Amino acid sequence: MSVSERNMSERYLSALRALERDDRLRSLAARDGIDFASNDYLALANAPRMKQAVIAAIEAGTPIGAGGSRLLRGNCEEHEQLEAEAARFFGAEAALFFSSGYIANFAVLTALPQRGDLIVLDDLVHASIREGANASRAETCEVTHNDAAAFEDTIRQWRASGGKGRPWLVVESIYSMDGDFAPLADLLAIAERHDAFVVVDEAHATGVYGESGRGLTAAYGHADNIVVVHTCGKALGAVGALVTCTKVLRDFIINRCRPFIFATAPSPLMAAAVREALRILQEEPERQQRLQALIAFTNREIGARNSWRSSGSQILPYIVGNNARTMTLAAALQKRGFDIRGIRPPTVPAGTARLRISLTLNVDESQVRAMLDALAEEAARLDA
């Protein structure tokens, strides 16, 4: 290795060592133990119906890969069938399928807000949303988490300073690391008052909340100023994301969105899998009902123990604070057979490192109770 090559490697090694000193060095770990870490909320990722749908698609001649972008030869019948069914299911004019939720969020925010517009982000939104907003033509600012008044104050200040475009209010319906809910009704009312668009990432609500798992936005209809991202890799058990919006906005994305235009289309097999997941939501409502019962049970158990504040959703953050202590606690629980992962900055704000515990149909009440007992015991041992 030449001196130049050693110097090149050293800059990266130095950065990795700094992460290690701060107890923030990450590594890959295989899944092991009882699932309290995944987003497979309805246990569809390994469901027989999902497998059979993919097998049937293969036997019917569905290709594994699209072979090109949607604007070239990559536009397959499976994509269009999924988008038509998804639009009907979610009550929208149109839908567009992307290869991941990250790409969908990035695509929407780099394509739709225009120069002169204002993007207002909740300060706990996904990294994909923040990256998309930062890469857009519009002005971007962040406001205090779940503070609807702060959204409106920001719009008023922007207008007072000469802002002429359209505001875009961007939130998650359920926040991925806190498990709390966005004030959607207040934000939609603000959007009406200020001629604004609302972009809602339903990643952790699709399949879990709303009639037949249509998400938390379903309660408000699908007005022309609402754009919704429904991730397919969580409760739907597949891969990809569906953007639901008006036909005009869909056509604009197709014509002006670089992440859509220049990317190979998602796998047609995944489109077939997502179609099956949407059917399961409608034909097996007991999955959503069982998960809601498990969420209610777990929140009652946490409340009875008076040990920490529950979020009320299927995402349960146990705040530790210190990075090293968080990872030590996670390792202790993993040793006891519970797959629980530690989350550290910058994924969460500094000083709020936590265990992110998620509830899925891959576990039952007895396993939840055993996990909570183990958590209490290991936390007490760590504090001793």
Active site residue 27: no
CA distance 85 to 372: 40
Active site residue 79: no
CA distance 180 to 127: 17
Active site residue 364: no
Alpha-helical regions (H) of the chain? 3-21, 48-59, 77-90, 101-111, 127-134, 148-160, 184-193, 247-256, 258-261, 268-283, 285-305, 323-335, 365-383
Residue the block writes with tokens 């008052």: 193
Active site residue 176: yes
From 204, 225, 276, 313, active-site residue:
204
From 35, 201, 202, 378, active-site residue:
201
Active site residue 373: no
Active site residue 145: no
Residue 223, CA distances (Å) to 92, 266, 351, 367 in order: 8, 27, 39, 42
From 78, 99, 117, 126, active-site residue:
126
CB of 93 within 8 A of CB of 116?
no
Query: DSSP code of 352?
Result: -
R_g of the chain computed on alpha carbons: 22
Active site residue 142: no
From 79, 117, 234, 362, active-site residue:
234
What is the β-pairing status of strands 241-245 and 226-231?
antiparallel
Q: Count H helices and E strands in the chain, helices first.
A: 13, 12
In this structure, which amino acid lies at residue 272?
A
CA distance 211 to 317: 26
From 35, 39, 40, 178, active-site residue:
39
From 128, 176, 310, 323, active-site residue:
176
From 172, 178, 202, 276, active-site residue:
172
- Given CA atoms 314, 279, 35, 31 in this order, what sign does their dihedral have? negative
What token pair was written down for 294?
A: 């498990």
Catalytic residues: 39, 126, 172, 176, 201, 204, 234
